[in-house]
Chains A and B, each alone.
Chain A
Amino acid sequence: MAAFIIACASSKGGCGKTTLAVAIAGVYASNGSSVLLVDADSRKRLQEEWYNPETLSPKIKVISSRVEDVETDVSKNRDVFDVIIIDVEGSANWALAQALQVAHFSLVPSNVSFQDLKDAQKVYNYVESINKESKRYRHCWIVWNRVPTAIRSKEMKATMDEAVTSGLPILTTIHERDAYKAMFSYQTTLDKLREDEAVPSAGKAEQEIAILISAMHEKLEAQAA
């Protein structure tokens, strides 16, 4: 059996790809899976700003991958880990194309804004064009990111409605929570933040990432059936 490969992908910066990748890695690792995070961002944010073997589960490893080596690095590790998560930089570069090609499941985080949504749509359309050319089906789902927990503005509601009307597949909603930012300041994962009671919202954040993971698994099962 080979690793389940997830791409946190978007050609736009600042939409939460790295945060989502780290949050998912943490929940998988805390449930017993070995996880490889492939840092394909030239700024190496994962490797240099987050990864700390002393504060993280030994089940999580991070490697940096050059733009042109993403596919090779994933192939080398697909029999070693249970899950591989590719984090790309916000750019329409070769790493993003390769990540979308090799992944079983692409997650496109999008803030609830028109700019982010347009960019997410481009990524979704590209994956659909790969699916037309390929024998293997690749999932591509948009994840609303940094959604306020309380009131949503009318602009937000309108944008969310337009995404649905346009036929874009929305997987889940991730809310704006301090716990996601704290993963970087504490160089850790949501489960540890919750256990240490470091951030009040860690448990809720962990729960919504678990729901996202279950939703991915359900979509895969539905497609396989």
Chain B
Amino acid sequence: MTLQRASLRPPRISDDAPAEDGKRLNELAKSSGFGISGGPSGQEADRVGEGARSVLLPAQPRMSLRDRRPPKETRSFNFNCKMKPRIKDKIDEICIARGVSQADVIEMLIEHYDLKA
């Protein structure tokens, strides 16, 4: 897959963006724990109550690895064989385009095969 050059040109951003209330946003940053001297160990307020649902609530005990295991049918599997370079390249191309692993591609192929059968 080759992307068109035009699609890699940055979008045109209008100059007449709405005026921001910088002071209010700065207050928000301060109240969220951002500081001038953050440093690598800087503290950030735990704002888990807003936006996306928390991945792990603070009081929630961490699930064991066994509990976090995906169902058996979705687990990774080992697929080991020699491929022609052009097939390997094609699989890589699909992986990049779809953001999936090689294992996922093989799973898709099997689904396709099952549909055809």
Contacts and interface: CB of A to CB of B under 8 A. Distances in A.
Interface in B1-50: 1, 3, 5, 7-15, 17-22, 24-26, 28-29, 32-44, 46-48, 50
Contacts of A220: 11
Interface residues of A, number: 75
Contacts of A55: none
Interface in A50-108: 67-68, 82-83, 89-98, 101, 104
Interface residues of B, number: 66
Given A114-B55, A154-B75, A94 B38 contact: yes
A38 B32 CA distance: 23
Tell me which of B14, B41, B50 has the highest count of chain A C-beta atoms within 10 A of its own C-beta. B50
Nearest to A162: B55
Nearest to A3: B13
Interface SS of chain B: helix, strand, loop or mixed?
A: loop
A82 B11 CA distance: 9
A150 interface: yes
Contact of A204 (B21, B46, B96): B96
A46 to B, nearest CB: 17
Shortest beta-carbon contacts, A-B, top 5: A93-B38, A92-B44, A125-B51, A97-B29, A97-B34
Interface of A: 1-5, 11, 13, 27-28, 31-33, 67-68, 82-83, 89-98, 101, 104, 114, 117-118, 121-122, 124-130, 133-136, 144, 147-155, 157-158, 161-163, 166-168, 172-173, 175, 204, 207-208, 210-211, 213-214, 217, 220-221
